[in-house]
Amino acid sequence: FQQKLCVNLEIFDDILDHISNHPIFQNQSNNPQLPVSIQLAIFLNQAGHYGNSISLEDVTQWAGVSVRSIVNCTNHVMIAVLDAHDQFICWEADNSEDADLAHKFAESCTCPEWKGGVLAIDGSTMNLFMKPGYYGETFYDRKSNYSLGCQ
């Protein structure tokens, strides 16, 4: 379960509880939607894999549904998750103990301009849609993509 969906069961259940009652999953058609739990599993399977390790055909074989169903499930879950953004993404209050520890860590390990920062990135890259017009070759990375490196 965790290997395929890239989340543990408790997190899956928590996400499912938050999105299950979203109107996107209500249908007045004669063709019922797949259960929300199946739609979420399809979405997480796709979201948790990248590149050669996943394709629509792979997901259709795994889930036993059509390509169009995969696209619909992905769209439905994404809409529901984005609508619940503030329930999923929460920042510590600036005056909390955790925020204070994060600020102190950022100050001790980074440049002065990042004073007050609380986020750290592990060197991941964010792929760009296309080669930038200015200094495009400087964005070409070791994985043969044009990307921005997060440090």
- Tokens 């997901």 belong to which residue? 59
**Of the candidates 51, 54, 52, 39, the residue with the CA atom closest to the CA atom of residue 4:** 54
**pLDDT per residue over 32-47, tens digit each?**
899 999 999 999 888 8
Query: What is the percentage of the chain residues whose pLDDT exceeds 70?
Result: 85
- Enclosing H/E stretch for 147: strand 147-149
pLDDT on residue 149: 73
Full-model pTM: 0.62
d(CA 103, CA 100): 5
Q: Which of 118, 126, 121 is nearest to 143 (CA)?
A: 126
How does pLDDT run across 47-101, given as a tens digit for each residue? Answer: 877 666 677 888 888 888 998 999 999 999 999 999 988 887 776 677 788 777 8
Higher local confidence (pLDDT), 109 or 7: 7
